[in-house]
Structure formats: C-alpha cells, structure tokens
C-alpha cells in the first residue's frame, strides 16, 4: 500500500461526514439523534397510541413526557449529571428487566454498542442539549466557508464542497479533459452521448466560455426534457397498466408528454408541483393544468369485480397521499396510516388530515367494465380528449362544417367527428365532487373502521396553512411551494443533485425524516434550496449551476484508494463515476449506431422483447394479453416511451435496476450482475445495432483500417484509442476475422445471403465487444 492508505476508522468518518467536531462537542442532530432514532424512539417517541412506553419521550426535551421530566423524584435525563439520569442508569443496568433498550428477544432492537453508549454518555455530560430536527426548520443562508485553496473557485457550490474536503484532509481533483467532460455532461443532461461532430466542435472552441455554451446548448435540446422526465416518472410511478388483478391497459401518456414538455419549456418547479397536485382547481384550467392533475390518477388501481369498492377507494387515496409525501415532501407519510409515525412527528390524525385533500375524487375507485370504448383506450372518467395539433385542427374544422350543414352531409360529418374523437388520446384528470366527503381517521388504518372526522390540514409540526376555512387541494399545493415550507425545495434540489453525482447530499432522497440519512453537506443543501426558491424555482438554472461548478467538472480518475475510502464519492473530491441507467444504456446503443428515432411523444411503444414473457403472467382476459412488438422505425424510439406493464416491465430495463413502477421510487439502486452482462452480450436489438454500425464503418471507402477502428472507438467512447488500445483493437479484429474464415457457416448465420459475410461478422464482433466495455455503460 502507498501513502494513500488510511486507517479504517478514519476512512469511515471521511465518507460519512460524521466526524465529531474538533472541539469534541457532540452535535445533537448529527451525533445523537440518529442513534436515539434507531434504538429508543420506536417506544419513546412521537407515537402516542400503543407505541409509547413509560410516558417518556426521548425525541423532545420538555413537557410532561419530555426527556427532562421528573416523575416520582426521578429525572429521565438530567443535563450534565449521569448519576441522576435514569436513562443512563438503565442503559448501564445489568438486570435484564431494567436494561434499555430491552434485550433483543423482547424488543427486536439491537443493543447499544459501546461506541453508541459513549456518545450518549458524553452528550448527557455535555449538557444533553436538544436541537430542532434539521429538515423541519427552514433552510438558512450560511456564510461561505473559509478555505485554504482559495483560488480553486469562487463558486458557492465549490466553496462548500471544498471546505468539506479540507475538513477531511482531501483536495479537489483536476478538471476533466474536454472529451470526458462533453461525454459526461451530454449523458447527464440529455441521456445521449455526444456525436463526433459535437465532440469536435467543443474541442476546437477556444472561447473562454466554451463549456458554458455547450451546457446551454444541451439544456436547449428536446432530449433534455426526455431525459429529465425519466427520473420524474419513476418518482410518480408512471406506467401503462393498472397494476392489479388483470393488469389492464391504462393510458396516461398525455401526462408523460406533459412532463417532458414542462422540463423542456422550463416550467418553474412551483408551478410544476401545483399543476400536478391541483391543476384541476385553477380558475379555467388550461389543458396542461388538467393533464398534469393526472398525477392523482397514477396510482395502482384494481379492476372492478372482485375487490370491495370502499376498500379500493381507501387504498387509492392512501396511495395518492403517500405519493405527495415521497415526491414533494420527502416524508414517509404512509407510516402513519395505522398508527402515529414511530419516528417522525406525523400523527395518524395528520395523515388523515392530508387524506381529506384527496378523498373527494369524483370518479370510480375501480377501473371500468371491459368492452366499452373507454376501456379499449385505457381510459376511465373523468378525462379530457387531447389530440395532436393536426387532430385538433381537423376537429375544429369539423365543428364548423357540422354547424353549417344538415341532412346526410351533417350525419356523415358527425360520424367523422366521432371517429376522430375515438382516435384521439384521452388524459385522465383529477376532479372534485360537489359535496366534499368527510375524512375520518381510520382506526388501525382499516377502511371499514372510521373514527373521528378530521378537517383538511397539513401536518401540525410544519408551518400552518395560511387559510383557515374552505381549504382545498390548491391551498395544499400552494403550501407545498411556499418558501416557508422547510422540505419542498430541499427535497427537490437534492434529487436533481443526485442525478449529477450519483447520490444525493441526503442519500435517502425519499426520506428526509429522522430515519433518513444525515446530509453530507447540510450548508450546501441549504444554499441550493434558497437559491432555487430565489431564482423562481428555475430548474434549468439550478441544473446549470450544478454542472458549471468545478466540483462537477473534476476528473473521475482517482487512485484506487480514493475509491476504496469513498466509494460513492460523498466527499466530492473527484468527479463521480457510476453506471448509466437502463434507458440511457439502450438509447446510447441506438444513438452510436445511428438508428435512434428522435420522434417525440405519443402512445407508449412496445420495444421487442423475448417472446412469451407476458404469456407467463397475464390472464386470458387481460387486456392486452399478447405482446405485439412495435414495427419499423418505432423500434428505435427512446426508452422513455417504453410501454410499462407493471406486472412485467421490459426486462432490458428491470435487469438494469429500473423499478416496476408499483410504488414511488426516488432513487434507483445500481447493481452489477451477470444478468446484465447477458443483456449486453445477447439482447437482439443491441446486437442488431452493432451489426448496423459495423457495416456502416466497414463499407467506408478510402479509409485505412486503423482509421476505421479509431473511428469506431471514438464513436462509442467519445475519445480516440491510445496506441496500445488501437493495437488491441486491430489484433482483436484480426482474430475475429481468422475465426470466421475458419467457420464461414457462422458468418453466414450472422449475415445470411450477404457478400463478405465473414468480414461483416468480424467487424460486428469488434463493435459488439466495444458495446460490452465497462466504460461504455458508465458515466465517468
């Protein structure tokens, strides 16, 4: 090992940002709260129902049940006084009846480790000071920290990042070279690699703001919205089937198209949220606002016939509320359906006060009967018809002609209008009933066990709604994006950040509660959140500021020890390196081979997949039952348009960690498995793309072989091969050639009835090999 090796314990603290402050003073939020949450709070926390033991809460200091309370002359925690702190005495007790937490057999809670005991001991000795939970107090402006490497960058993002590095004894990496940079930022912003021309242009742009111009160009591309939408669609569990029982077709694609368009048009995030939560409640809502309100229709929904409608209704509303919690608030609201939240101050009453905003849906809780025109179109009222511009224009024409005609002409025009309307897509929307349904607390969460009626309200531990009476979803939507809301902006910027560094500043981007993970850079998160709100919730501006930072532009090459000590790059001392998402992998294969069809929007597309997959999971009466793959150019559309059957999503996607879209997912895992290797090796369309690209390059006239090889390599990795690499490529090509010369039958199997089949096969294997390189599936 060399000088980079560090003792294990230091490595741990490096990566987690949990090192105790230099003065030895413990910080409640960072050092103590996570520990209490893990080991004590389930029984001594916010759950006021059956959960709380001994009328004692350790999550708050004051009050009758707070940690400082004295009961029968005994104080639970006496600041600075271990001997008279009952909590401490119980922690060190020997008697199994006294010891806390209770032995594992009784409590299922793992015992305190000696390190944890030491933290609690020192914290009580130091005065047992509590702090408000960081995520529930509004972000505040922090002074830019002092750094020693002050000439690295004046950018606030970089200053915060650098301060953390320096605190850990690290220093930033060099800026990545231009080729790496354009490949990285193109993949990150558009989900597509740069073309050779784009690389070339960037390399030769000598202006000082070349990179800035590149970023702006990418932000202006339509592919930007398609790429950004992908993450959002995971978050809101967008899919093309209802996800339960028969798993019938359900068409929500106008919503998907709206998301793509919104990112491209840079709709501000506050509007983006408001449209989705309450688009239907604007005065004279626009088509877009209505389509966006379809957010409330994205949940799994069972088809009519077997379940109990009242139960289905309850499940749908709970799912809607959970989605709002995960997507906009970063809270696990659904933990408070059956009882008060065990860790966060969300009471069951809070949950059903939120439920009250969403239980007034004017529509059926189960999907409609088979055979109706709506059913075949995957629609269920309420919905609006949305057409292409051509369809809309024709419809307007028809309306005019109809009003001006009569008799047979009129009937035939009306028939045409009907046919046109049938061919238009519908967008399912949210709609309120006239008379609000009351919302009951459901005892133990059971749909048939209503308790007290609760008014529409936001959770009591967060800032109150500004209005007292007649509140509706629009008030909730406005509250969500009110700058005083401590969560919304933080949760949003954290998710965007995660796209560009592989992991969020708060790693648990779906959970900002007490059980979530402490942010690696709390001040930076606050800074980004405040800037975001200040900018008018301008997403492109936020994204731009992130990718323009020096922190983002660092090279990702690093000594192995750096990867060992900080595998996820939480300390940001290099550019992040992580595997591309399934959609990007597929789109890239199509892009480099020149096959990608850039057509946007419309119905979801069934990209070819191995035969028989649906047959194994569908029912004879499922609609659709049989998988009919798309044809011709449709096969080459971008993956964001992939038809998503919840019962069995496309395996090319799920094998690379795409979720089923059953539940809201704020971040994907990134695994590395043999099944993934098999996809890259044998997926039919990927291999066909390799053949296509190989033939194209092979047939170039007047080009020397080594130039062809270099061209291929550069097309796929955005950089030319080194001399050694080029030699390897040429030698591999020669070996493939020799193999196919010895085995012309195999060459003919790959290229039937084709002249020079052996040569084509050899080039194909070269391209195919490059598609299987680790670098090809990684963003570096």
Rank residues 285 and 504 by Cβ distance to another protein and give the closer one.
504
One of 293, 332, 639, 642 touching another protein (CB under 8 A): 332
**Shortest Å, Cβ 1 to another protein:** 9
Identify which range of 273-281, 375-383, 405-413, 554-562 contacts another protein by CB under 8 A. Answer: 554-562
Judged by CB under 8 A, does residue 421 bind another protein? no
**Shortest Å, Cβ 12 to another protein:** 6
Rank residues 155 and 557 by Cβ distance to another protein and give the closer one.
557
Judged by CB under 8 A, does residue 343 bind another protein? yes
What DSSP character marks residue 326? Answer: I
Query: How far is Cα 377 from Cα 387, in angstroms, rounded to an integer?
Result: 14
Place of tokens 């390189």: 773
Place of tokens 């032995």: 103
Judged by CB under 8 A, does residue 772 bind another protein? yes
Q: Are 193 and 186 in contact (CB under 8 A)?
A: yes
The strand ranges marked E within 188-300 are none
Q: And the tokens for 227? A: 């790429």
Judged by CB under 8 A, does residue 513 bind another protein? yes
Query: How far is Cα 600 from Cα 260, in angstroms, rounded to an integer?
Result: 9
Judged by CB under 8 A, does residue 43 bind another protein? no
Q: Are 665 and 237 in contact (CB under 8 A)?
A: yes
Place of tokens 């004295």: 70
Q: Distance of CA 697 to CAs 493, 694, 761, 777, Å?
A: 43, 5, 13, 22
Identify which range of 24-32, 200-208, 214-222, 664-672 contacts another protein by CB under 8 A. Answer: 664-672
**Shortest Å, Cβ 647 to another protein:** 4
Taking CB under 8 A as the rule, which mask of x and - marks residues 438-467 in contact with another protein? ----------x-------------------
One of 320, 507, 638, 708 touching another protein (CB under 8 A): 507
305 φ, ψ (degrees, to nearest 5)? 130, -35
Rank residues 24 and 674 by Cβ distance to another protein and give the closer one.
674
Query: How far is Cα 193 from Cα 180, in angstroms, rounded to an integer?
Result: 11
Judged by CB under 8 A, does residue 671 bind another protein? yes
One of 19, 60, 222, 307 touching another protein (CB under 8 A): 307
> Which of 728, 732, 594, 717 lies closest to 184, judged by CA?
717
Question: Does a cis peptide bond (omega within 30 degrees of 0) precede residue 383?
Answer: no
**Shortest Å, Cβ 114 to another protein:** 14
One of 169, 220, 309, 536 touching another protein (CB under 8 A): 309
Judged by CB under 8 A, does residue 245 bind another protein? yes
> Which of 115, 117, 133 lies closest to 61, judged by CA?
133
> Which of 491, 515, 435 lies closest to 269, judged by CA?
491
**Shortest Å, Cβ 63 to another protein:** 23
Rank residues 257 and 510 by Cβ distance to another protein and give the closer one.
510
One of 465, 562, 697, 711 touching another protein (CB under 8 A): 562
| Contacting another protein within 117-176 (CB under 8 A) | none
**Shortest Å, Cβ 89 to another protein:** 27
| Contacting another protein within 602-641 (CB under 8 A) | 610-613, 615-620, 622
Rank residues 289 and 764 by Cβ distance to another protein and give the closer one.
764
3 φ, ψ (degrees, to nearest 5)? -65, -10
Burial status of residue 673 (CB atoms within 10 A of its CB: 0-12, 13-18, 19 or more):
exposed
**Shortest Å, Cβ 300 to another protein:** 7
Query: How far is Cα 341 from Cα 343, in angstroms, rounded to an integer?
Result: 6
| Contacting another protein within 384-403 (CB under 8 A) | none
Judged by CB under 8 A, does residue 725 bind another protein? yes
**Shortest Å, Cβ 209 to another protein:** 28
Rank residues 39 and 638 by Cβ distance to another protein and give the closer one.
39
Judged by CB under 8 A, does residue 711 bind another protein? no
Judged by CB under 8 A, does residue 103 bind another protein? no
Query: How far is Cα 428 from Cα 483, in angstroms, rounded to an integer?
Result: 30
Taking CB under 8 A as the rule, which mask of x and - marks residues 744-763 in contact with another protein? --xxxxxx---------x--
**Shortest Å, Cβ 751 to another protein:** 7
One of 226, 247, 257, 526 touching another protein (CB under 8 A): 247
Taking CB under 8 A as the rule, which mask of x and - marks residues 514-553 in contact with another protein? xxxx------------------------------------
Count H helices, E strands: the chain? 32, 8
Rank residues 233 and 267 by Cβ distance to another protein and give the closer one.
233
Query: How far is Cα 763 from Cα 743, in angstroms, rounded to an integer?
Result: 15
Query: How far is Cα 763 from Cα 758, in angstroms, rounded to an integer?
Result: 9
Q: And the tokens for 260? A: 């793509």
Give the Cα-Cα-Cα angle 146, 152, 155 (nearest 5 degrees).
70
Judged by CB under 8 A, does residue 344 bind another protein? yes
Rank residues 156 and 659 by Cβ distance to another protein and give the closer one.
659
What DSSP character marks residue 70? Answer: E
Q: Distance of CA 5 to CAs 1, 9, 164, Å?
A: 6, 12, 20
- Give the total of residues touching another protein (CB under 8 A): 110
Rank residues 3 and 724 by Cβ distance to another protein and give the closer one.
724
One of 405, 728, 730, 756 touching another protein (CB under 8 A): 728
Judged by CB under 8 A, does residue 706 bind another protein? no
CB burial string 435-469: b at 16+ within 10 A, e below:
eeeebbbbeebebeeeeeebebbbbeebeeeeeee
**Shortest Å, Cβ 660 to another protein:** 6
């Amino acid at each position: 090992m060399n000088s980079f090796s560090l003792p294990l314990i230091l490595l741990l603290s490096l990566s987690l940002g949990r090192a105790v402050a230099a003065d030895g003073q413990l910080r409640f939020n960072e050092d103590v709260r996570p520990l209490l949450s893990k080991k004590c709070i389930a029984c001594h926390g916010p759950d006021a129902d059956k959960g709380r033991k001994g009328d004692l809460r350790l999550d708050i200091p004051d009050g009758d049940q707070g940690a400082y309370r004295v009961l029968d002359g005994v104080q639970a925690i006496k600041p600075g006084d271990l001997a008279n702190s009952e909590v401490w005495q119980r922690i060190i007790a020997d008697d199994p009846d006294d010891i806390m937490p209770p032995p594992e057999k009784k409590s299922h809670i793992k015992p305190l480790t000696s390190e944890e005991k030491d933290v609690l001991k020192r914290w009580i000795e130091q005065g047992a000071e509590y702090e408000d939970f960081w995520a529930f107090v509004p972000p505040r402006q922090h002074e830019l920290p002092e750094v020693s490497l002050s000439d690295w960058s004046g950018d606030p993002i970089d200053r915060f990042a650098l301060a953390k590095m320096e605190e850990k004894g690290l220093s930033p990496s060099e800026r990545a070279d231009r080729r790496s940079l354009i490949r990285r930022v193109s993949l990150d912003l558009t989900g597509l690699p740069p073309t050779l021309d784009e690389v070339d242009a960037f390399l030769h742009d000598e202006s000082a703001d070349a990179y800035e111009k590149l970023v702006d160009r990418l932000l202006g591309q339509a592919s930007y919205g398609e790429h950004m939408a992908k993450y959002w669609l995971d978050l809101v569990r967008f899919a093309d089937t209802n996800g339960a029982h028969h798993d019938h077709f359900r068409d929500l694609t106008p919503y998907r198209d709206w998301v793509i368009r919104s990112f491209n048009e840079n709709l501000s995030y506050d509007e983006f949220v408001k449209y989705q939560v309450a688009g239907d409640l604007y005065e004279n809502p626009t088509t877009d606002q209505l389509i966006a309100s379809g957010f409330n229709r994205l949940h799994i929904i069972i088809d009519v016939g077997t379940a109990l409608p009242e139960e289905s209704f309850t499940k749908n509303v709970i799912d809607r509320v959970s989605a709002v919690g995960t997507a906009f608030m970063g809270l696990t609201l659904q933990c408070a359906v059956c009882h008060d939240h065990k860790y966060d101050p969300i009471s069951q009453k809070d949950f059903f006060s939120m439920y009250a905003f969403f239980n007034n849906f004017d529509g059926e809780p189960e999907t409609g009967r088979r055979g109706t025109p709506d059913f075949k179109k995957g629609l269920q009222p309420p919905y609006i018809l949305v057409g292409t511009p051509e369809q809309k224009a024709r419809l307007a024409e028809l309306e005019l002609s109809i009003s001006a005609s009569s008799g047979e002409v009129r009937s035939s025009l009306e028939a045409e209008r009907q046919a046109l309307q049938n061919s238009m897509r519908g967008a399912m929307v949210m709609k309120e009933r006239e008379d609000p349904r009351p919302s009951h607390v459901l005892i133990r969460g059971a749909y048939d066990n209503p308790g007290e009626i609760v008014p529409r309200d936001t959770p009591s531990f967060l800032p109150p709604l500004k209005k007292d009476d007649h509140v509706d979803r629009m008030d909730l939507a406005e509250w969500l994006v009110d700058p005083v809301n401590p969560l919304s902006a933080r949760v949003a910027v954290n998710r965007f950040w995660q796209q560009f560094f592989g992991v969020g500043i708060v790693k648990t981007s779906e959970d900002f509660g007490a059980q979530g993970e402490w942010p690696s850079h709390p001040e930076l998160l606050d800074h980004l959140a405040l800037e975001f709100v200040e900018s008018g919730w301008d997403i492109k501006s936020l994204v731009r500021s992130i990718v323009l930072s020096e922190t983002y532009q660092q090279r990702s090459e690093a000594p192995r020890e750096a990867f060992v000590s900080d595998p996820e790059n939480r300390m940001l001392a290099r550019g992040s390196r992580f595997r591309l998402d399934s959609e990007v992998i597929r789109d890239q294969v199509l892009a480099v081979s020149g096959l990608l069809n850039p057509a946007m929007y419309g119905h979801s597309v069934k990209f070819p997949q191995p035969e028989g997959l649906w047959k194994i999971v569908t029912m004879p009466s499922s609609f659709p039952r049989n998988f009919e793959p798309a044809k011709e150019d449709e096969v080459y559309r971008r993956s964001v348009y992939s038809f998503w059957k919840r019962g069995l999503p496309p395996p090319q996607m799920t094998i690379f960690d795409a979720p089923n879209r059953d539940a809201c997912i704020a971040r994907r895992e990134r695994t590395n498995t043999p099944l993934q290797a098999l996809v890259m090796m044998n997926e039919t369309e990927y291999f066909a793309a390799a053949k296509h690209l190989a033939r194209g390059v092979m047939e170039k006239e007047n080009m020397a072989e080594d130039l062809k090889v270099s061209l291929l390599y550069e097309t796929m990795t955005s950089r030319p091969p080194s001399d050694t690499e080029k030699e390897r490529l040429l030698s591999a090509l020669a070996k493939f050639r020799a193999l196919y010369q010895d085995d012309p039958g195999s060459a003919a199997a790959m290229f039937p009835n084709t002249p020079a089949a052996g040569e084509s096969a050899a080039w194909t294997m070269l391209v195919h090999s490059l598609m299987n390189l680790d670098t090809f599936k990684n963003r570096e």
